[in-house]
Amino acid sequence: MSHQHMPGFRIMPMPAPIPHDLIERFQSVVTPHISDNMHRLCGVIGLKPYHRQKKLVGRAITVKVRPGDNLMIHKAIDIAEPGDVIVVDGGGEVTQALVGELMQMHAQVRGIAGFVIDGAVRDVAAFYAADFPCFARGNTHRGPFKEGPGEINVPVAIGGLVIEAGDLIVGDEDGLVAIPADQLDTLLAAATAQAQKEQQRKEAILAGQDKRGWIDIYLTQKGVIA
């Protein structure tokens, strides 16, 4: 049951938990291997990291806000559980920052895994120093408003990808993906198999044994004559 107090303010139920051991296993999975096994269609475009190098893996708590307003992000931080990722659809607007150092500190103290913000952040040095995982579309010194409206745990659109509350978010130096909870086991197996296959390719390349014949075969099929 949702708790609706007035139009535009809605908090939907918390999503199902993701087993801790499954989250841990995704810590060693790189986003390209996940993306390749989701038909290369499913990924967030246009956000960049504002931390140093820490991997981001956790369950999505989604927030949809009015551009430039962070009231419901504050509420999401308060109700999120340790290990969750706050995923914010701010409409891609970067004229007002939606999160900054104080919110980052609140989130870190509560054990939140990180932020994904389709909008702007500020206090960039603080995110970098803390190495608190944060992906955002931009940054600005201009602060937010705190009036609403906004919704929590509803489907959101982030950089071309629809993310549902309860999806697993994985973010690294190559970008961000979101995996529906019912696909986690399948994707983990496929990504692990790809990693093993690529390791064999790496060893073959270093040994000068990687087979390159496929290139000329493909070009011949296209009518290219070497």
- pLDDT per position as a tens digit, 87-106: 999 999 999 999 999 999 99
Res 2 pLDDT > 70 = no
Query: Band of the pLDDT at 224, cuts 50, 70, 90?
Result: very high
Mean pLDDT of 177-198: 96
Residue where the block lists tokens 């790189």 = 30
CB 165 within 8 A of CB 61: yes
Res 4 pLDDT > 60 = no
Query: Band of the pLDDT at 8, cuts 50, 70, 90?
Result: confident
Number of CB atoms found within 10 A of residue 7's CB? 7
Q: How far is CA 20 from the centre of its chain?
A: 18
- pLDDT per position as a tens digit, 188-209: 999 999 999 999 999 999 999 9
Between CA 209 and CA 219, with CA 214 as vertex, the angle to 5 degrees is 140
What proportion of the chain, given as a percentage, has pLDDT over 90?
Answer: 93
pLDDT of residue 225: 76
pLDDT of residue 40: 86
Between CA 99 and CA 105, with CA 146 as vertex, the angle to 5 degrees is 30
Query: Band of the pLDDT at 226, cuts 50, 70, 90?
Result: low
- pLDDT per position as a tens digit, 115-168: 999 999 999 999 999 999 999 999 999 999 999 999 999 999 999 999 999 999
Mean pLDDT of 4-13: 79
Burial class (CB in 10 A: 0-12, 13-18, 19+), 73: buried
Model pTM above 0.75:
yes
- pLDDT per position as a tens digit, 39-64: 888 899 999 999 999 999 999 999 99
pLDDT of residue 1: 44
